[in-house]
Each structure stands twice: as structure tokens, then as C-alpha cells.
Amino acid sequence: MSSNPALTDSRTVPAFPFCALHGQAHLQSALLLATVDPLIGGVLVEGARGTAKSTSARALAALLPEGHFVNLPLGTSEEQLVGALDLEGVLQDGRVRLRPGLLAQAHAGVLYIDEVNLLADGLVDLLLDVCASGINRIERDGISQQHAARITLVGTMNPEEGELRPQLLDRFGLFVRLSEVVDTTARKAIVRARLAFDADPAAFTRRFDTQQQQLVDRIASARSAIEHIDFTDATHDRVAALCHAAEVEGVRADLVMLRAARAHAALEGRYEIVGTDIDAVAELVLAHRRKATGATSPPPPPRSHSEPQNDPAVDAFAQPPRQNFNTSNAEPNNGAAEEMENGNDDSDWGALPRPPVPILNVKSVRPLHAKKP
């Protein structure tokens, strides 16, 4: 067995075994891909409460050699995240000392962010920059330090609590949407496994020691193999066609899909990328980047004269019937009456009605006679 402290340390409660998860095949696949190649850019998991998002992330950390699992609180400051430079030491002995932050602690491990959609956009942007480069840079007052930060980033979000900006959404390498509906067979398996783990975590974990160790070895072998797997012209053609069909913006999706397909091939023990590798990762890459094609709704059918009139409370913004403000009892001409009846007289819709002209009684006047010449 490995000396992984997350697997063997008996002083703490062990993590739920990754191999014991039920009903989360897509999530497990995405997490393994991001672990083999952290430069994929992390995994964004969308799902309701109680869908094993944090349990899966902790279980993944237990498979890594260092076993680091770092939880990023929502109230974290930038200095707590990236670290700080001890400038007092520079003044005293001329040496620059680095006070490591959460990124340094999470190196070669898992950095978990619950409700990442509620985290400040600036911190999310900074995190994704570090994950894409694998290097954390700290700069202050003209002094710069950097350290390696190969991190498997796992962010989770509940869509009921807010959305993530599209610019940040695109920067997450892989995306998994967890279904809230679980069939009865999977539900029973999940509940039984959880009850058994809660009753005796150590005994439950020992049941999966062999499978866990095999998965640890697969990850280590895949990490060593990815640098020896080339991207062929056929692979580039297939990836470009899929991304073009999805109408994604930019080429980030192409780069992530190539990396993910390579990681998938390495996990399967192959030194070349085949079509099944691309198909296995395509939806994980495109699900949050695919441009939605909204269908144009057809125009409403013309209203027939035989149809009943709408309720005025419902049709509040429809044109009201034309009113006659004339005080005269004279009937309108036939053409105007027909036009009003057909509802075609819309030329003055929205204009104020003409005010009525009052009729006043005028005293009779005596007629004037023409003067004689």
C-alpha cells in the first residue's frame, strides 16, 4: 500500500473512498482527468444540495500522493489566497521571505471552493490564471516571488443561489451538471454505503483498499505518460469539428478538449488518442461553452371575428375601442364605421382624444341692412 497519509492515517477519520461513490460516473471521470493534467483548468460542478459534491472532492484528494485537501472560504482575501512577501526581512537581512497562502498549501492537491459563484470575481479570475499556468506569482513594491502551484481546482455551485459570469464560466476546463433525480437502485446503494461508512469508517474504507490502490497507480502512470502522447492531425480535425459545431467562442475549448482526451487515453493505458477518448470528454468540455440556439417563436395567428373578446384584465395593453367624443347625434359615415368595426384604424392609437367643443347659447342679433348708395 501507498504511504499516502490520506489513506493510512488512523488518527483522523478517513475520507469516503472514491471507488465507493455511486451514481456519479461523469463527475468521477471529470475529477480524474483534471487530476492527471491539472492544466486542464479544474472542474466546475453544478448541482443541488446533497449530491455528494464535496464528498467527491475529498475522496479525490485521498488518491493523490500528498493527500492535500484545501477548502477555500468565501471570505478569503487575496493575500490569504496567494500569500504575502515579508518585506521586514528584506530591511533586516536583505532576504525576501514568502508567507505562503492557500495556493501554496494546495500544491499537488485539491483546492475546493463551495459556492464558487458567490466568490468575488477577482479571486476566481486569479485562481483560474494560476491553474492554467501552474505557477503562483506574488508581487509587492517591485519585489516578485513565485512558486509552483499545480492544483486540481474543484468548484461547486447551486444554480438557485446565483449564476457565474460567462467569462469565468468559460475558463473552467470541465463542467458537470449533476441530476437531482436518482433512480431507486442507485439511491439504495448510496444510502447503504453512507450508513456503513458512518457506522465504521475504518472498516468500510478497508473494503476498498485494493481498488483504491489500483486507482492510485493508474493516476501515477497516466501522469507520467501524457507527455509522451502526441496529437495527430486526425485528432486535431475531430476536435476542431466538434468545437465548430458547438459554435464556441475562441479556441480555449479546443485546447481543453485535446488535453482532456490525452488524459483519458493515458488513464486507459494507451499512448495514442483514439475517437473514443475524444467522445468521452467532449460533453464535459462543451456543456458550459456551447452557444444556445434560441428558436424563433412563430407569430400568433390572426384573430377571427368569431373569437370571443379577451378579458380586459388580461388584455390590459390592447388597443381600447374607439370612442366618439362628438356631442352631435349624427351617425358616422359608412366607411369610417366599417374601418372601426374591422379594427384597422390605428393611425391615432396613443394620441390624446380631441377635447369636446362646448356649445354656447348666443343672443339673437338684429340683421344689418345694406346702406343706400
> Which of the residues are catalytic?
252
Separation between Cα atoms, residue 181 and residue 271, nearest integer Å: 37
By CB atoms closer than 10 A (0-12, 13-18, 19+), residue 257 is buried
Q: And the C-alpha cell for 107? A: 500544491
By the 8 A CB rule, do 7 and 139 touch? Answer: no
Which one, of 57, 15, 49, lies nearest residue 197 by Cα? Answer: 15
Q: And the C-alpha cell for 368? A: 344689418
Separation between Cα atoms, residue 46 and residue 42, nearest integer Å: 13
By CB atoms closer than 10 A (0-12, 13-18, 19+), residue 18 is buried
Separation between Cα atoms, residue 300 and residue 276, nearest integer Å: 46
Which one, of 189, 163, 165, 237, lies nearest residue 20 by Cα? Answer: 189
